[in-house]
């Protein structure tokens, strides 16, 4: 009788232990799955960071106060004002001594005195000089407005990149914690005979990879943050938690924005002001042949003796007036040069517009592809990868699949999540670029008015791989 009872008790204990191990496995896997799903962008809110939070508006205000290019732009305006004022000033008079037939001894003859010489500028040349430099001043003012927009845009783009790096880091931190929990779970299951040694090794390798991914994400965040700190003019600004959500980027009409860029960009306005400056230069060159009056007059003491009275002639005045006759030099060369400069300035407007349209094409393509990629990741690939991970987790809890299959599904889901963040980053930066006339480099020095071959400065926006990559 006792021999029959003992096996039954042993079977009952083994069954209870198996039920307990199964319950532990189910709880641990279910809890880990829940934590992993919470870390998905868009599935739930990211956990709050202990770091101090800073907003985009605060970063932009910091840049407006510290960025040195604003001082440079202001100096360019003052320099243009100085040139305009100087070009309208009248030429200084000449004061001198004059002596003729100076003799000594008993003759006491000669004429000695002083003179004043002044050139009278005719033809409105001084006014035309000022008009040339007034156009330069307007160019400098437009350049200052462009620089402000450039800095604001650069800060916004750096903020988007830093926000994307922050979200990737948070995601990989969560995945690393889950991988560590998986290692502990695997060891516990191996101790009770519910996991094999390869499963444990696979979990350990996955944890090491997750930890390495965190280290690389931290380095990337620091690099992006250093760029942001440089743009806002505070290189010592430490990493802070950024407020915002990449998914909040609104859609724009790219074609309308391209037309706006081509017609209203500050670069186009500066080129158009270059045409007005060239026209003013041509008008000034055409007035140059009009001769200026050369006036010279003064007083002198004539000590020669008068034949009538026998006394010195005394104080007398003199005056000369002359003009330069434009026979050989009618400023032909400078007029021809000014006409060529005007034609070049007119073609420069066309070149700038075509250059902007050319560069806008790649930005529009990046905007469209990243928008498509983000929508595909959010609505199709991530939900499917998430469903596959949930199914593998459930089947593993039922002891129907090996744990490495769960890890593969988890890794695939994580790669899609990172790619989704990259697509959102590219979408946001492209949108900002299109709305900001393709202006981005906030630390490039403002161009000085009057520079020859003033370039349409390139924007610095990475457009190639963010929307299609699967791992950052």
Residues 299-315: tens digit of each pLDDT: 988 877 777 776 777 78
Classify residue 32: in a domain, yes or no: yes
Tell me the pTM: 0.78
**Nearest one of 320, 331, 330 to 297, comparing CA atoms:** 320
- List the CATH number of the domain containing 425: 1.20.1600.10
Which residues fall within 8 angstroms of residue 193, CB to CB, at 6 or more apart?
A: 21
Q: Which of 361, 372, 370, 368 is nearest to 438 (CA)?
A: 361
Report the pLDDT averaged over residues 374-387.
94
Token couple for 414:
């994580």
The answer to whether the beta carbons of residues 207 and 176 sit under 8 Å apart is yes
Instruction: Choose the weakest-confidence range: 148-152, 214-218, 462-466.
Output: 462-466
Smallest Cα–Cα separation from 423: which of 463, 381, 383, 460? Answer: 463
Task: Kindly provide the residue ranges of all beta strands, DSSP E only, lying in 27-127, ordered along the sequence.
Answer: 53-54, 94-100, 111-120
Range of the domain at 420: 19-69+150-287+350-435
Cβ partners under 8 Å of residue 428, min gap 6: 160, 246, 249
- Residue 55 burial (CB count, 10 A): 12
Determine the 3-state secondary structure of 380 from DSSP: helix
Q: Is 341 inside any structural domain?
A: no
pLDDT band at 399 (very low <50, low <70, confident <90, very high): confident
For the segment 28-40, what is each residue's pLDDT rounded down to a tens digit?
455 455 555 555 5
- Rounded to 5 degrees, what angle do the CA atoms 15, 20, 25 make? 125
Question: Given strand 312-323, what is the order of strands in its sheet?
Answer: 94-100, 111-120, 293-305, 312-323
pLDDT beyond 80 at 241: yes
369 located within any domain: yes
Distance CA 62, CA 233 (A): 7
Query: Residue 449 falls within a domain, yes or no?
Result: no
The sign of the torsion formed by the CA atoms of 246, 250, 251, 256 equals negative
Percentage of the chain exceeding pLDDT 90:
57
**Residue 57's pLDDT is what?**
93
Structure tokens at 415: 């790669």
Determine the pLDDT at residue 34: 52
What's residue 196's pLDDT? 75
Name the one residue in this structure whose structure tokens are 């800073």: 54
Quote the DSSP letter at residue 212: H
Q: Are 91 and 129 in contact (CB under 8 A)?
A: no
In a domain, 314, yes or no: no
Per the domain annotation, does 235 fall within a domain?
Answer: yes
Residue 420 lies inside a defined structural domain of this protein: yes
Rounded Cα distance, 449 and 141, in Å: 10
The alpha-helical segments, DSSP class H, found in 248-331 are 254-264, 266-287
Q: Which residue has the higher pLDDT, 363 or 26?
A: 363
HSE of 164, CA atoms in CB hemisphere, 13 A: 28
How does residue 10 score in pLDDT terms, banded at 50, 70 and 90? very low
- Convert the pLDDT of each residue in 153-177 to its tens digit: 999 999 999 999 999 999 999 888 8
Is 3 inside any structural domain? no
**Cα–Cα distance, 60 to 255 (Å, whole number):** 28
pLDDT digits (tens, 9 = 90+) for 41-97: 544 344 444 668 999 999 999 999 998 988 999 999 999 999 999 999 999 999 999
SS3 call for 225: helix
What does the alpha-carbon distance between residue 139 and residue 273 come to, in Å, rounded to a whole number? 6
CA angle 433-437-443, nearest 5°? 75
* Number of separate domains in the chain: 1
Q: What are phi and psi of 41, to 5 degrees?
A: -60, 130
C-alpha span between 269 and 143 (Å, rounded): 9
What's the mean pLDDT in 196-212? 83
Asked if 132 contacts 423 with a C-beta cutoff of 8 angstroms, the reply is no
Q: What is the chain's alpha carbon radius of gyration, rounded to the nearest angstrom?
A: 41
Residue 347, pLDDT > 80, answer yes
* Whether the Cβ atoms of residue 91 and residue 117 lie closer than 8 Å to each other: no
Q: How many helices (H) and strands (E) does the chain have?
A: 10, 6
More confidently predicted of 8 and 431: 431
Distance CA 464, CA 370 (A): 10
Say if residues 201 and 207 touch (Cβ distance below 8 Å). Answer: no
């Amino acid at each position: 009788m006792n021999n029959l009872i003992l096996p039954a008790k042993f079977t009952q204990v083994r069954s209870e232990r198996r039920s307990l191990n199964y319950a532990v496995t189910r709880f641990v896997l279910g809890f880990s799955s829940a934590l992993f799903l919470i870390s998905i962008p868009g599935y739930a809110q990211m956990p709050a960071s202990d770091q101090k939070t800073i907003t985009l508006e605060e970063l932009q205000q910091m840049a407006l106060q510290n960025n040195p290019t604003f001082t440079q732009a202001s100096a360019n305006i003052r320099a243009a004002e100085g040139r305009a004022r100087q070009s309208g000033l009248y030429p200084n008079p000449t004061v001198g001594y004059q002596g003729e037939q100076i003799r000594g001894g008993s003759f006491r003859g000669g004429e000695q005195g002083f003179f004043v010489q002044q050139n009278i500028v005719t033809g409105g040349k001084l006014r035309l000089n000022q008009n040339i430099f007034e156009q330069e001043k307007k160019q400098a003012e437009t350049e200052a407005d462009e620089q402000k927009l450039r800095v604001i845009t650069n800060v916004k783009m750096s903020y988007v990149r830093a926000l994307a790096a922050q979200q990737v880091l948070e995601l990989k931190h969560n995945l690393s914690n889950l991988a560590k929990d998986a290692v502990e779970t695997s060891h516990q299951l191996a101790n009770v005979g519910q996991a094999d040694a390869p499963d444990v090794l696979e979990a350990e390798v996955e944890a090491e990879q997750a930890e390495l991914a965190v280290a690389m994400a931290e380095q990337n965040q620091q690099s992006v943050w250093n760029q942001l700190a440089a743009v806002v003019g505070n290189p010592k600004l430490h990493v802070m938690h950024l407020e915002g959500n990449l998914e909040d980027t609104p859609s724009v009409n790219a074609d309308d924005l391209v037309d706006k860029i081509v017609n209203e960009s500050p670069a186009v306005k500066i080129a158009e002001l270059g045409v007005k400056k060239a026209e003013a230069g041509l008008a000034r060159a055409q007035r140059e042949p009009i001769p200026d009056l050369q006036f010279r007059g003064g007083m002198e003491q004539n000590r020669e003796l008068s034949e009538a009275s026998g006394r010195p002639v005394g104080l007398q005045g003199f005056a000369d007036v002359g003009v330069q006759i434009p026979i050989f030099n009618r400023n032909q060369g400078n007029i021809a040069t000014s006409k060529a400069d005007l034609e070049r300035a007119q073609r420069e407007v066309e070149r700038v517009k075509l250059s902007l349209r050319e560069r806008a094409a790649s930005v529009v393509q990046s905007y469209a592809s990243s928008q498509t990629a983000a929508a595909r990741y959010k609505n199709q690939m991530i939900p499917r990868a998430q469903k596959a991970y949930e199914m593998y987790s459930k089947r593993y809890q039922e002891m129907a699949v090996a744990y490495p299959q769960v890890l593969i599904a988890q890794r695939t889901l994580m790669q899609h999540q990172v790619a989704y963040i990259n697509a959102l980053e590219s979408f946001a930066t492209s949108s900002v670029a299109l709305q900001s006339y393709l202006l981005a480099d906030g630390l490039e020095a403002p161009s000085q008015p009057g520079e020859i071959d003033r370039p349409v400065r390139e924007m610095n926006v990475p457009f190639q791989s963010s929307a299609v990559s699967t791992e950052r």
